[in-house]
Amino acid sequence: MRTIGKNRGLARLADADGHFRMVALDQRPPLFDALAKAKGITREQVEYSDVTAAKRLLVENLAPHCSSMLFDPNFAVPAAIDLLPPRCGLIMTLEEHRVDETAGGRKSRAIANWSVEKIRAMGGDAVKVLAWYRPDADPVVNEHQKRFVREIGEDCARHDIPYVLELLVYPFLGSANHTADYVESPGKLPGLVIDSVREFAKPEYGVDLLKLESPLAANGLPARDGSAEAKASQKEFDAIGDICREHGIPWVLLSGGAAPEKFERVLDYSYAAGASGFLAGRTIWLDAVLKNFPDRAAVSASLRRDGLNVLERLNQLTTAKGTPWKARFPVFTDIKQEGDFARAY
């Protein structure tokens, strides 16, 4: 019985046809950096009011055109919860953007004073967690990450709320490509992405929807034209699709700030492998902020013109090629009389 809330929550994230057309604006460091660059200041000089102003503009202009939005509690909710349309699903992030960076890998933690229980209490439709993960990281680090993901999954099951898990491979501390924020590596190893999905698709983690990066770098992905290179690339996406299909978990793609045409190509491969949508942020709205902030009117105009153009193209591609998600409610064969359901739930 404790899946009714999860199914209703996932339905709130998707559109009426079962496609996940979702916009992410829980970003913190990437938005801090964009605001700093736009204003010609350092990240440390970005003010709280600038962050909330930017997030309010994003919600105001984009929320009517997506099936759900991803908020963070410390910036997005105070900035714009009043603007979120009633029929737009609300995903709430749980993880702290500051991680414990060690020589053996990254350890995640939850935002201080924030929990699955509070997300359910405030009317959130789903809990989202980003877990930095590399199968080849230090075993102690990976055990920490597994426990972190698993315990949140248990909380989501307890509160019957969907669990959206985002997985990101990252460069080790001290490596040539190291960065604290997510930047897609041109030399990405697809096996690291696929093996991460294989681990966290296991039932013990309780994941209901996977938010995944492309197994191959978006900038180097060939056109899906039937060539040998394209067929080889498709096999990497198909490997993810096979894992998710085996475990009955729908999956969507994150944009990672890729150029819109590059992200559309990623989606084309993903939809051929069975993906059900996208949860994208910077690809849709970053340029509007970078080029126009702090001129709020100009940011809005850019979002309505260029941002919505990108979003609508993603929406159309998803509707045409994405695999629809369908709710799976329990069968009530054991409910025979008044009181049976309340007792069973």
Closest CA to 108 of 165, 23, 33, 69: 165
Average pLDDT for 86-99: 96
Cα separation, 149 vs 204, whole angstroms: 10
Q: Answer whether residue 180 shows pLDDT above 60.
A: no
Tokens of 34: 């964009």
pLDDT band at 184 (very low <50, low <70, confident <90, very high): low
- Residue 276 CA, chain-centre distance (Å), reads 13
pLDDT band at 171 (very low <50, low <70, confident <90, very high): confident
Cα separation, 345 vs 340, whole angstroms: 9
- Provide the pairing of β-strand 126-132 with 209-212: unpaired
Q: Answer whether residue 185 shows pLDDT above 80.
A: no
Q: Answer whether residue 182 shows pLDDT above 60.
A: no
Q: What is the pLDDT of residue 24?
A: 98
Q: What is the pLDDT of residue 76?
A: 98
Q: Answer whether residue 262 shows pLDDT above 60.
A: yes
pLDDT band at 218 (very low <50, low <70, confident <90, very high): very high
Strand-pair partners of 126: 91
pLDDT band at 1 (very low <50, low <70, confident <90, very high): confident
Q: What is the pLDDT of residue 344?
A: 87
Average pLDDT, the chain: 95
Average pLDDT for 151-178: 89
pLDDT band at 316 (very low <50, low <70, confident <90, very high): very high
Q: Answer whether residue 175 shows pLDDT above 90.
A: no
Q: Answer whether residue 186 shows pLDDT above 80.
A: no
Q: Hey, what domains does the chain have and what are their CATH numbers?
A: 4-344 (3.20.20.70)
Q: Are 198 and 251 in contact (CB under 8 A)?
A: no
Residue 187: CB atoms within 10 A of its CB come to: 9
* Residues 181/35/256/228 CA torsion (nearest 10 deg): -110
Q: What is the pLDDT of residue 143?
A: 98
Q: pLDDT tens for residues 191-217?
A: 999 999 999 999 999 999 999 999 999
Q: Are 51 and 29 in contact (CB under 8 A)?
A: no
Q: Answer whether residue 179 shows pLDDT above 80.
A: no
Mapping DSSP to helix (H, G, I), strand (E, B) and coil, where does residue 127 land?
strand
Tokens of 343: 């007792």
